[in-house]
Amino acid sequence: MIIRNILVCILLAFGAVSASAQKTDTTVVKKDSTTIDSPVLKADSALRAETGIIEADTIVKPKAKGPVKDSARLALEAMPRKAVLRSALIPGWGQFYNKGVWWLKVPAIYGGLIAFGIAIHDNQSMYNVFLKEAQYRQQYKKELDPRYVLYDDEGIIRIKNGYRRNRDLSILGLAGVYAVNIIEAYVDAKFFRFDIGDDLGLKINPSLQQGTYASHVIPGIKVSLSL
């Protein structure tokens, strides 16, 4: 009888200890499952941030910066460069590319180039003639060409230098026409999309303004800008 009571007490004691252990384990599991800001989770998040591992839902795509240009705008912006290259290769080609009144600009460009080209050729030819005359007189002390008998040595040298100066100025004029051809093509293409119609302009007209007295009229100028 005593032994049976002892066994019953031992069994009750084991049951109480087992129930207490199960309650403790359940509490720990609930705490682990409901705790969000745990040190383990924080350490895991920091590790992901350092190693560059980012969840798919947290990736932020960069936004495009600046305005998006369409094909028409890009074509307009490319016009000046194309016009300059064309006019640099062949004078007048840029004006033809820009359209407009190219049929007036191209003849003017080639007219200037041809005129200065002829001037360069003529002045160079006459410079050579008087250069030979001056050298011949310096060497043989007499005239080479009978047409220049009336000119003394200093006169021959002055004429020679004059033709040389005119030749150099003609070369500068030729280069200037070529440069103007390129600049005009660039400017025309650059301002292609700007309004230059008849409704836009600056008008200056004479006017009369009232003076201090009623009979006193002051002449003036009236400036008006129409848009």
* Helix extents (H) in the chain: 2-34, 39-51, 71-89, 93-98, 102-140, 153-190
Nearest Cα to Cα of residue 183 among 84, 72, 52, 39: 84
Distance of CA 130 to the CA centre of its chain: 51
How many angstroms separate the CA atoms of 194 and 157, rounded? Answer: 55
- The model's pLDDT over 43-79, given as tens digits with 9 standing for 90+, comes to 555 545 554 544 444 455 555 565 666 787 787 788 9
- How many CA atoms lie less than 13 Å away from 140 in the CB half-sphere? 9
- Among 11, 157, 181, residue whose Cα is nearest residue 96: 181
Which residue has better confidence, 5 or 116?
A: 116
Measured in residues, the chain has a length of 227
pLDDT of residue 74: 82
Phi-psi category of residue 98: left, alpha or beta, with phi > 0 → left and psi -120 to 50 → alpha: alpha
Distance, in Å, from the CA atom of 105 to the CA atom of 95, rounded to the nearest integer, reads 7
- pLDDT of residue 177 exceeding 80: yes
pLDDT of residue 83 exceeding 70, the answer is yes
At 201, give phi and psi (nearest 5°): 180, 170
Residues 145-168 pLDDT 10s: 999 999 999 999 999 999 999 999
Q: List the structure tokens of 23.
A: 């309650």
Tokens of 125: 């030819």
Residue type, 223: V
CB-neighbour burial class of residue 166 (10 A; exposed 0-12, middle 13-18, buried 19+): middle
Average pLDDT over residues 195-217: 60
Q: Rounded mean pLDDT of 88-105?
A: 94
Q: Vertex 149, ends 134 and 154: CA angle to 5°? A: 40
DSSP state of 190: H
Q: According to the model, what pLDDT value does residue 30 have?
A: 43
Q: Report the distance separating Cα 120 and Cα 167, nearest Å.
A: 5
* C-alpha distance across the termini of the chain, in Å: 123
